[in-house]
Structure 1
Amino acid sequence: MSRFDPILTSKALWQIRVQKRPFVLSHAVNTRCNMKCSFCDYWKKSGEEPAKEEIFKLLDDAREFGIGVYNAWIVEPLLRKDLPQIMAHAKKLGMITSMVTNGKLLYERAEELEDVDYLSVSVDGVKSYKEIRKMDFETLMKGLKKAIEVRKLQNKKNPILMNCVLTGKNLDDIETLILLAKKLEVKISFEPVHRFPGISEEVWNDIGIHDMEKFRCTVDRIIELKEEGYPIINSKTYLRMVREGEMNYICRASGIIMNVTHDGTLETCRVQNEPLGNVMWDGFESVWENSEDRRKEIVKDCKGCLFFGYTENSLMQSLNPEVIMHYEWM
C-alpha cells in the first residue's frame, strides 16, 4: 500500500490491527518460468497449475476474508494466457492488483495489463544483466519502455517499479540503474540477494556478496541518492539495515501478507515454506484461525530476512516514523 492513499491505508489498518488478518494475498499463479536464474529456487518446483475458475473461487474467498491487495507472482505470471482475466476478476472484487514479472514477455503482453495497478519488473543490472539473467538487456528495455508507454496511455497513476536484487555481480551498475529509473520516470527498489537453501556453494560463491566494503559503499550511495530525491522507494532505515546486514526488527510479515502457493497451500512467508493448510480446500478463515499457534512459533524461531516487502511493512506496522514517511510501495 502506498503512503499517499489514506483510504487504502485505513482499510489496511482496520484489517491488520482490528480484524487481526492479513491485507495482502501474494499468490503463485503458475509453476513455469521462461528463465532459470541460478539464485532462484522457484523455477525448480513443479506442479499442476490451478485452473482459472479455481483462482476465481480463491479470489472470491480472499475478498470475503478481507484481503484488499492481490499480488500475482512466481514463477512467471505472464506465461499464463488467462492472466488478464484473473487480474480483471480481482479488480471486479474491489482489490488493488499488483504483479511481479521478469519482463521477458512484457513487449508482447504490455497492452493486456490494464487491470494491474502496480507493476514490478526485475531489473538486476545493466552491463551485468545478461550474465545474471541470461537475456540481453536491450530485450528487457524494449519491453519495459513499451509497458511505460502503454500505462501512460491507460492513465495509470502508479509508475512501474524496477526491482533490483543486490548481488556480487551488479554493484558497479547500481548508480546507473538509479539514473535510468529517473530518466524513464519509474520507481526503483533494492534488496540484497537471499541465500535460499537450494542455492549451491558454487552458485553462492559466484553470485553472493563477498566484498563487504564495496557493498556498503554502494548502499551508502543509494541512501545519498534517495536523500537527493531520486525515485528510490526504500526507506533509509531499511537501507541502513541492508548495509549492515541487520535483521533486528519484529517480523510482522505473516500478519500482513498471505503467501499462497499455486496449489492453495498457505505458507508463513517465502522464506519459511512449512505448509499451514490449504485455502482452496478449507477456505481462508479456517486455515488462518487453525494455524495461529504454529505461525507464531515459526516467526519466533525465524532468523529473519531482508526482503524489502517484509521488512519495510514490518517496520511500518511497528510505527517507525522514518519508514512511514519514506517507504512508497505495497
Structure 2
Amino acid sequence: MTKYSPLIAAKAIWQMQIRKRPFVLSHAINSRCNMKCSFCEYWKTEGEEMKREDIFKLLEDARAFGILVYNAWTVEPLLREDLPEILAHAKQLGMVTSLITNGLLLEKRVDELKNLDYLSVSVDGTSSYKEIRGVSLDRIMPGIIKAKSIIKNPLLMNCVISGKNLDDIEELITMAKDMDVKISFEPMYEFGGIDEGTWNDMGIRDTDKYRRTVDRIIEMKKEGYPIINSYTYLKMVRDLRTEFVCHANEIILDVTADGSIENCRVHRSPIGHISEGIGNVWESTKKLRKDTARNCQKCLFFGYVENSLMYNFNLEVAQHYEWM
C-alpha cells in the first residue's frame, strides 16, 4: 500500500485538524488542452495563464502557509514548457509533487519530470477509449510504460466510469495488474455546461449494468487487484450515494490558471485571488466555504470523497484507500 511517510501524515493532521488549513495545493497550471473530449468543459475557454515567476510566488506562499503537496493538473499540464522548472521549485521548497495528465505528451516529456513524485494518467477504457477520448489508446500506452520505468512511486491510471466503458472495466483492471500500476475509479460527473445530447450519449443510464460493473470492481479489489479506492467509496459509487460530509474546501486550495482561488472544481466561482494573499483569502472566506459545503449536492470525485472520509477518521478508508 502506497502511503505518505508517518512524518508527512503527522504534518497533514497538524495542518488540517489543528491549524485548520489546507494540505494540498491543486493548481490548474494551464488553460490549454491537446484533446477535445466532449464531456469536459475545461478546454473550451483558453484564458490567461500565470507567468512562471507568479507560480513560484504561489508555491512559496503556499509552503509558508503550511501546504505540503503540490498537484499540477488541467487542462493539460504537459503543454506547459516550463513545467519541469515549476516542479523543481516545488521540490526545492520541500513539497511533494504530483501531476495529472491525459498522457498524449508523456512519452516525449517524461524524461524532464525528475522532480515529480506521483503521476496519474487518465485512462477511461480499452476498446472504448478512442470513442471517449478521440484518439487511440496506443497513443498513450508508450508514455505510461516509459513513465513507469522512470518515476519511483507507483503510477496511477484513473478511469472515469461512463455509459461508454462499462464493458471495458474488468479488462482495464487486469491490464493495470499486468503492467504493475495502480488504478482508481470515479463516476462521470455531468457538468452543467455540457449539452444534454452529450450526457444522453455518455452518461450513466443503464443503472443495473452500472451497479453490476461496480460490484465487479469491489470483487476484484478483494481479489487483490491494484485498485486504490476504499470499499466505502466504491459502495457509494455503486449506489450513486453522496451521504458524506464534504471537507474538500478545507483540505485543498484550488487555484486556477489565472490565479483565482475557487471553492472546488465543482463550485468554480472565484472566492478570491492569490494576489490578495492565501492566508487572507482563507480567513475571509471561512463562512462562505462552510456554507457552500453544507448546501452542496455533492459530487463523487474520488479525491474529494476519500479524503473527506479520511478527514473524519473513517477507519475502513484509512485501511483500504491508498492516498497517492
Q: Residue 240 of structure 1 aligns with which residue? A: 235
Shift of 1:4: 5.1
Give TM-score scaled by structure 2 length.
0.98
Unaligned runs of 5+ in 2: none
Q: Residues 261-306 of structure 1, C-alpha deviation per residue, up to 9 Å, x if partnerless?
A: 0111111110011211101x11110110011111111111100000
Task: Give 1:216's aligned residue.
Answer: 211
Matched residues in 2 for 1:300 and 1:150: separation? 42
Output the CA distance in 1 between the equivalents of 2:295 and 2:302.
Answer: 20
Q: Find the counterpart in structure 2 of residue 33 from structure 1.
A: 33
- Counterpart of 1:100 in 2: which secondary structure? strand
Alignment-derived partner of residue 257 in structure 1: 252
2:34 maps to a residue whose letter is N
Aligned residues: 324
Match of 2:161 in 1: 166
Larger displacement relative to structure 2 (1-10 or 177-186): 1-10
Partner of 1:318: 312
1:86 maps to what in 2?
86
Residue equivalent to 1:292: 286
CA drift at 1:46: 2.0
- 1:3 and 1:327 in contact (8 A); partners too: no
Give the conservation status (yes or no) of the 8 Å contact 1:98–1:119.
yes
Cα pair 2:255 2:262 within 8 Å, conserved: yes
Given that 1:38 and 1:203 are in contact with CA atoms closer than 8 Å, whether structure 2 keeps it comes out as yes
Q: Note the C-alpha offset of 1:5.
A: 2.2
Tell me, yes or no, if the aligned pair for 1:167 and 1:193 is still in contact at 8 Å. yes
Q: Secondary structure at the match of 1:270?
A: coil
SS of the residue 1:182 aligns to? helix
The structural deviation recorded for 1:150 is: 2.4
- Residues 125-274 of structure 1 correspond to what in structure 2 (within 5 A)? 125-151=125-151, 156=152, 158-274=153-269
| Alignment partners' CA distance in 1, 2:269 and 2:82 | 29
CA contact (8 A) 1:99 1:120 kept: yes
User: Helix, strand or coil for the counterpart of 1:263?
Assistant: coil
Contact 2:4-2:323 at 8 Å conserved across structures: no
What is the rounded CA distance, in whole Å, between the counterparts of 2:299 and 2:58 in structure 1?
A: 28
Q: Which runs of 4+ in 1 moved over 2 A?
A: 1-5
Name stretches of at least 5 consecutive residues in structure 1 with no aligned partner.
none
Q: Which moved more, 1:75-84 or 1:44-53?
A: 44-53
Identity fraction in percent: 60
Q: What TM-score do the two structures reach when normalised by structure 1?
A: 0.97
Paired AA for residue 91 in structure 1: K
1:177-202 per-position Cα deviation (integer Å, ceiling 9, x unaligned): 11111111110000000011111110
Deviations 1:202-257 (A, max 9, x none): 00001001011110000000000101111000000000000001000000111101
**Are the aligned partners of 1:2 and 1:9 in contact in 2 as well (CA < 8 Å)?**
no
Secondary structure, counterpart of 1:30 in structure 2: coil
Give 2:323's match in structure 1, choosing from 317, 321, 329.
329
Residue type of the alignment partner of 1:255: E
Contact 2:161–2:188, Cα closer than 8 Å, also in 1: yes
Letter in 1 for 2:159: C
Paired residue type of 2:156:
L
Alignment of 1:24-63 (within 5 A): 24-63=24-63
The amino acid across from 1:213 in the alignment is D
Shift of 1:149: 2.0
Q: Are the counterparts in 2 of residues 3 and 324 from structure 1 also a CA contact under 8 Å?
A: no
Q: Aligned letter for 1:195? A: E
User: Residue 45 of structure 1: CA displacement?
Assistant: 2.2
Query: 1:323 Cα deviation (Å)?
Result: 0.2
